[in-house]
Structure 1
Amino acid sequence: MLKITKILLLTLLISTASAFVQKKAKVLIIGDSISIGYTPFVQGNLENIAEVVHNPGNGKHTGNGLIHVEEWLGDTDWDVVQFNWGLWDLCYRNPTSTVQGNRDKVNGDITYSIEEYASNLDALVKKIKTKTDAKLIFVTTTYVPENEAGRFPEDPIRYNEVAKKVMKENNVMINDIYQSSISIHHEYGKGNDDVHYTPSGYEKLGKEIADFLKREIGEY
């Protein structure tokens, strides 16, 4: 009888303890190589409160998102979906360019005009909302240095402006990291001709993203 009582008490203690263990939030990050670079640092910062995954591969531009976003969302019951498109959309490319990615802002063609970008973003938000009830967060496009071969430095500002308008119209939360990305890139960017960051730069961006997510995740 004493043995049975001990077993029952142990079972009760385990059940009680389990009830107090916080369920980790499920977070999906959708984005390009910038988000791929900072995602491991977001995962590290949120390891105790969230399971953070990135969409397979590079999210590229909004056109690619429209094709694949439902596949990336899958059937998982996400708590938060963070997404970003922009750097690929505003990039000029020329099939004859020998620069990586055929980038060429002198003789190339824009991937998506600012009007097309806004329309695609609106369609993407609506498509995402049909697949999930998760909290949605849009992250603005990061800094473009002056000598980048396929992108103009002023375009992230222009594209971010219309993106924020689309998000506000669709009641989507915005994490505007553009300004902070400027100072991070100046100190930890790969160069004045490259939109990417060193590991230290991605760590800084990851900390910004994680801090924002922490405030929004709450209790699940």
Structure 2
Amino acid sequence: MKLHVVTVLSLVFGLAIVGGDAPVRGEDGKSDKPRVLILGDSISIGYMPTVKELLKDEAVVMRPMKNEENPENCQGTNNGVKHIDRWLKIDGGNWDVIHFNFGLHDLKRVDFQTGKNSNDSDDPHQASPEEYEKQLREIVGKLKETGAKLIFATTTPVPPGGVKPHRDVEDPVLYNTLAVKVMEENDIAVNDLFALAEPRLDEIQRPVNVHFTPEGSELLGEQVAAKIREALSEEAK
């Protein structure tokens, strides 16, 4: 009788898992699909739905979350060095691919005394170029320890016109140059979202705003998904 009860319960729970939105589980309770972690600011939050949809049959795609409904903004490297260990442990860790970006928060201006966002171009960056490179290297070191395939996404453009908080139009190129140097030294793939977005900002970016239209976020997400798919293919070889 006990055997029959166990069998029935197994069938019930098995059907619940297969019939719902949750992926099929392995013996350890995790999905059998490759595991992908997305780390980034609000730009990544914008393209996350597209990435999940495009890879839904190929991978489990996750990101840090405040709760079940609200994504966590990873912000800049100041925040990254504080929380990278926690992020890597999400859902037990064990990532196959990690796609990450830091930069857009680092290069914004903040009040020297309070650290709050500033519209004054004379105020300092949240993280100076030197601080950015140093902290990015620290984060990369933690990421490499996971053994996952790593992909760095370049920081997307700042449009002209005076975005708030203040960001210099030229700074994404400066910070991306530093980041790409770090990635090359560590043999990490680069997903150049800056190059993708820069020629078509009028079409895909909100006016005088670093954020993208829904169509722009979808375009970014398509390239992110393609790069992750490439990494998963290499992982499978």
- Please state whether the residue corresponding to 2:168 is helix, strand or coil: coil
1:155 aligns with 2:171: yes
C-alpha distance in structure 2 between counterparts of 1:78 and 1:85, whole Å: 19
C-alpha distance in structure 2 between counterparts of 1:46 and 1:157, whole Å: 30
- Please state whether the residue corresponding to 2:151 is helix, strand or coil: strand
C-alpha distance in structure 2 between counterparts of 1:35 and 1:185, whole Å: 17
- Please state whether the residue corresponding to 2:38 is helix, strand or coil: strand
TM-score of the superposed pair, with normalisation by structure 1: 0.82
Counterpart mapping for 1:17-32 below 5 A: 23-32=32-41
Q: 2:57 aligns with which of 44, 48, 54?
A: 48
- Please state whether the residue corresponding to 1:141 is helix, strand or coil: coil
1:52-86 per-residue CA deviation (whole Å, 9 max, x = no partner) reads 11122001110101010110110321100111000
Q: 2:44 aligns with which of 35, 44, 50?
A: 35
| Percent of residue pairs bearing the same amino acid type | 40
Question: Over aligned residues, Cα RMSD in angstroms?
Answer: 2.0
- CA shift, 1:24, in A, is 1.9
- CA shift, 1:106, in A, is 2.3
Larger radius of gyration: 1
1:122 aligns with 2:128: no
Q: 2:154 aligns with which of 140, 146, 166?
A: 140
Counterpart mapping for 1:69-84 below 5 A: 69-74=84-89, 75-84=92-101
Gaps of 5+ in 2: 1-30, 66-71
Would you identify which runs of 4 or more consecutive aligned residues in structure 1 move more than 4 Å? none
1:93 aligns with 2:93: no
What is the count of residue pairs matched by the alignment? 194
- Please state whether the residue corresponding to 1:52 is helix, strand or coil: strand
Question: Is the contact between residue 105 and residue 152 of structure 1 (CA under 8 Å) also seen in structure 2?
Answer: no
1:155-203 per-residue CA deviation (whole Å, 9 max, x = no partner) reads 1001100100011111211111111111343202111x20001111101
TM-score of the superposed pair, with normalisation by structure 2: 0.77
Gaps of 5+ in 1: 1-21
Question: Is the contact between residue 105 and residue 151 of structure 1 (CA under 8 Å) also seen in structure 2?
Answer: no
